[in-house]
């Protein structure tokens, strides 16, 4: 009996030692990633100024300052960051891990991808090595991720996590963001531009700005807005009816503020408050960031089609007898798509004879083409398949 107890105790001890050793190896692997990528991240400070009229012909200048993150992508000092953050900047400064502060200038912005490229003005004392790019298409749900950023001025903070989802489509007020990476990393919404690294210490994403609505939430929001507008119209009609029925014209019976507010009471809570989306974070795919960097740094013109699309859903596939396709939500007026004959509600089924399976297929085809190239599309319109050729324009 004593021998059995000693054997069990020895086994548990060996297991504990082995478990501790494995944890130590995992910790060392994470530390190697952090040591590799942390120096490539910089804190980006942007100062913006605007003027407005105050009183009688008096101009007032308003100055604002914001801080977020960026990643060094070339040895010449090019830095990838969030496009909307640096748009309209009066001055830009970056700070490295070692605390060196450098003035920077804007090189270019891809508003559709929301990626901006800035460059350090004086590289005489610039010694930051650029990040290595990984292949974001090789990520799987569950893949380990490390994020380095500067939330709320806490420079070069590190958080661990994993990929929670891939191929997410998100909606902003003006456009759709497709093929986004969903992360479990606890990222502050004040830290757009943070570097997302994979287990090899390579960039596979860039942290997106604050929570953006999913298409299903957006449709709910549009329904609520429509119903609220209808209720507002009903309230105005009721006010006019009561005003006519009132015999004393000096005291029209207009509903009080409390009654009017009841008519306009929201039908659902605000589902889109960033405070309600903690733990749900997204990143711009690293491959898209790399494409934008290569194009802007080399000064290449950006090809443009001019459509907003989404993948067709299962009921639509069944109803239209289609396996895959992209539904055109909107054709931008005067865009190459509009001039080429594309219409809203068309469904793109093939690109150059190849079936379209995802939004990124169309995006990558456009980005890998030249301005002026002919894009051959097979579209489904009113139960008929049509062949259309569109000449790609230049995004201004």
**Tokens standing for 307?**
């459509």
Tell me what pLDDT residue 324 has.
85
Q: What integer best gives the mean pLDDT of the chain?
A: 78
- pLDDT tens for the chain, 396 residues long, are 555 555 555 555 555 555 677 888 888 888 898 899 999 999 998 888 877 776 667 777 777 788 889 999 999 999 999 988 888 888 899 999 988 899 999 999 888 788 999 999 988 888 889 999 999 989 899 898 989 988 877 888 888 888 888 878 776 655 667 778 888 877 665 578 889 999 899 999 999 875 555 544 445 445 555 666 667 777 777 777 777 666 555 544 444 444 444 443 433 333 334 434 456 788 899 999 998 898 899 887 778 888 888 888 888 888 888 888 888 888 888 888 899 888 888 889 888 888 888 887 888 888 788 888 888 988 888 888 889 898 988 876
pLDDT digits (tens, 9 = 90+) for 315-366: 888 888 888 888 888 888 888 889 988 888 888 988 888 888 888 788 888 8
Distance CA(116)–CA(102), nearest Å, equals: 17
The beta strand positions in the chain, using DSSP E, are 41-54, 58-72, 78-82, 91-95, 101-110, 115-120, 144-149, 157-171, 176-183, 195-197, 203-207, 281-285, 303-304, 307-311, 326-331, 347-351, 354-355, 374-381, 384-391, 393-394
Q: Which of 351, 270, 347 lies closest to 312 in space, CA to CA?
A: 347
Distance CA(83)–CA(88), nearest Å, equals: 10
What does the DSSP assignment read for 300-352? PPPEE--EEEEEPPHHHHHHHT-SS-EEEEEE-TTSHHHHHT--TT-EEEEET
Q: Which of 76, 61, 195 lies closest to 134 in space, CA to CA?
A: 195
Q: Residue 192, SS3?
A: coil
The answer to whether the beta carbons of residues 135 and 175 sit under 8 Å apart is no
Distance CA(186)–CA(278), nearest Å, equals: 8
Distance CA(308)–CA(260), nearest Å, equals: 37
Q: Which of 343, 347, 359 lies closest to 321 in space, CA to CA?
A: 347
Tell me what pLDDT residue 275 has.
39
Q: Which of 218, 253, 216 lies closest to 238 in space, CA to CA?
A: 253
The answer to whether the beta carbons of residues 169 and 216 sit under 8 Å apart is no
Is this prediction's pTM over 0.85? no
Residue 374 exposed, middle or buried by CB count within 10 Å (0-12, 13-18, 19+): exposed
Q: Please give the CATH superfamily to which domain 301-394 belongs.
A: PDZ domain (2.30.42.10)
Residue holding tokens 């990222």? Answer: 187
Tell me what pLDDT residue 206 has.
92
1-206+281-298 under CATH 2.40.10.120, yes or no: yes
- Quote the crossing angle between the two packed helices 359-367 and 286-298, to the nearest 10°: 20
């Amino acid at each position: 009996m004593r021998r059995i107890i000693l054997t069990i105790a020895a086994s548990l001890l060996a297991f504990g030692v082995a478990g501790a050793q494995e944890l130590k190896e995992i910790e060392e692997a994470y530390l190697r990633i952090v040591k590799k990528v942390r120096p490539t991240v910089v804190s980006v400070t942007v100062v913006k100024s605007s003027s407005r009229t105050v009183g009688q012909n008096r101009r007032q200048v308003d100055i604002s300052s914001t801080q977020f993150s960026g990643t060094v992508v070339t040895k010449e000092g090019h830095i990838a960051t969030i496009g909307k953050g640096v748009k309209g900047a009066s001055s830009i400064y970056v700070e490295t891990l070692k605390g060196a502060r450098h003035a920077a200038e804007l090189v270019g912005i891809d508003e559709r991808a929301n990626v901006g490229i800035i460059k350090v003005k004086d590289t005489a004392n610039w010694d930051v090595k650029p990040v290595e790019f990984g292949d974001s298409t090789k990520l799987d749900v569950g893949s380990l991720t490390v994020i380095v950023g500067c939330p709320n001025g806490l420079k070069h903070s590190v958080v661990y996590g994993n990929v929670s989802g891939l191929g997410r489509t998100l909606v902003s007020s003006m456009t759709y963001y497709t093929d986004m990476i969903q992360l479990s990393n606890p990222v502050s919404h004040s830290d757009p531009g943070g570097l997302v690294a994979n287990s090899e210490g390579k960039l596979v994403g860039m942290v997106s700005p604050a929570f953006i609505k999913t298409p299903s939430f957006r449709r709910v929001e549009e329904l609520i807005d429509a119903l609220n507008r209808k209720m507002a119209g009903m309230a105005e009609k009721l006010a006019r009816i009561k005003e006519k029925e009132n015999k004393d014209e000096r005291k029209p019976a207009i509903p009080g503020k409390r009654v009017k507010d009841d008519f306009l009471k929201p039908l659902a809570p605000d589902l889109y408050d960033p405070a309600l989306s903690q733990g749900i974070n997204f990143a711009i795919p690293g491959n898209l960031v790399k494409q934008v960097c290569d194009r802007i740094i080399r000064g290449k013109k950006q090809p443009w089609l001019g459509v907003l699309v989404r993948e067709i859903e299962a009921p639509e596939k069944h109803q239209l007898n289609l396996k895959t396709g992209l539904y055109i939500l909107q054709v931008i007026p005067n865009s190459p798509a509009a001039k080429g004959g594309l219409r809203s509600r068309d469904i793109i089924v093939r690109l150059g004879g190849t079936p379209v399976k995802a939004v990124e297929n169309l995006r990558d085809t456009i980005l890998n083409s030249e301005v002026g190239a002919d894009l051959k599309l097979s579209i489904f319109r009113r139960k008929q398949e049509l062949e259309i050729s569109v000449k790609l324009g230049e995004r201004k």
